[in-house]
Structure 1
Amino acid sequence: MIIASFSIAAIAGIIVLFGDVNSDPAYQVLASTALIGVFSVAVFCGVVLVGKRWQTFGWVTVTVALLTLLWCLRLVWGEPSWDEPTVEVTATACVVTAALSVASLLLLLAEHRIRAVRTGLFATLGLIGVGVVMVLMPVWGLELDDFDWYLRTAGVIWILAALGIVVLPVLSFALKNAQPLPADAAGPRLSPAAVHHIETAARREGISPDALIARVLPSDTEPRQ
């Protein structure tokens, strides 16, 4: 569905570019193409959680992304009344959609076996949540005592959140590769040719491969003949 919708929008945008682009319908088609492309990415971010522990969060992301897309398309094709809180609703919907999309991708690390990664993940998600609230408070006209310090605090929170967004996947990959292999996986293994040779010899003797190995290579607890 994501690929199909974006493909249709892309084809429509290409057709418009080869026609008269200096018209309102052309601008509307191009804007719709861009919006569908952007929000298709947001939908994909939510879909990656389907079938996993946090799939409910993924479906919330998909739903919010689709509702935001419909709202934005309404602004492009309709004649919205600016008496409504159009700017506030649009900003809120877009910011929340972006935050949910990033959070959905980060939640792929929620089941990481290293505690440091999981701890950093939920700390980053908390910073994103606080950052979203701090961005939306001025949008909705809430009174702030010291706006300068408010901006400084919001900036610090978003810098730390961005640090977590960038570092966590890299740290997860590095720590995963640094994990030692299990004892049974670290040692040498029989080649396919050796396995085939053992199975052939066992069939010739009329016994199982395990029995053949036990006969030729008895364990340390068994007396050698």
Structure 2
Amino acid sequence: MRIEVVDHPLVAHKLTKLRSHETHSATFRSLTDELVTLLAYEATRDVRVEEHGIETPVAPTTGVRLADPKPLVVPILRAGLGMLDGMVRLLPTAEVGFLGMVRNEDTLEASTYAERLPSDLSGRQCYVVDPMLATGGTLAAAIKFLVARGADDITAVCLLAAPEGCDALERYLEGVDVPVTVVTAAVDERLNEHGYIVPGLGDAGDRLYGIAND
């Protein structure tokens, strides 16, 4: 497993604004979209392409296009939806699948409650989007789910990660025989006793969409 922290002043600038408790939902959503587009640029550096001949207004030439099968973008519901537009802006021809996963706040373990994905992902590159790599359980469960369907290359795009989550993800994925890369804007200091990233940016889902009433 490889962790890539994107070191760019625009990434740092947008992340700083995201962290602020004074940033309201509308601005938070806009900043998330912009930040994910920057992260997606790095995350797709190894996207598979094939040669493609074209005619320019001047002469024929050979370029590249995305290879088949097209990559699959997989937001983890619900917070991952806030990152989807930023990904498909750079991968407009990619397919999109959905995974609904929930973390038990007592055990911190993740379970799947919904999915909308192709039944066969053989030969597919998958880009999983989830704002926070905290305990690592949710992302690990998502990656294993995709590998079980046949995905052979997985990149996770996260706004933030915690050191404990990175270490746990590597442990959870022992024996998973496909390349896994995590692309993030920062690896923060630690997790607190509630499993939240410190200093972090709070609950990304709540800040994107508000807090649902029971």
TM over 0.5: no
Higher relative contact order (CA 8 A, sep 6+): 2
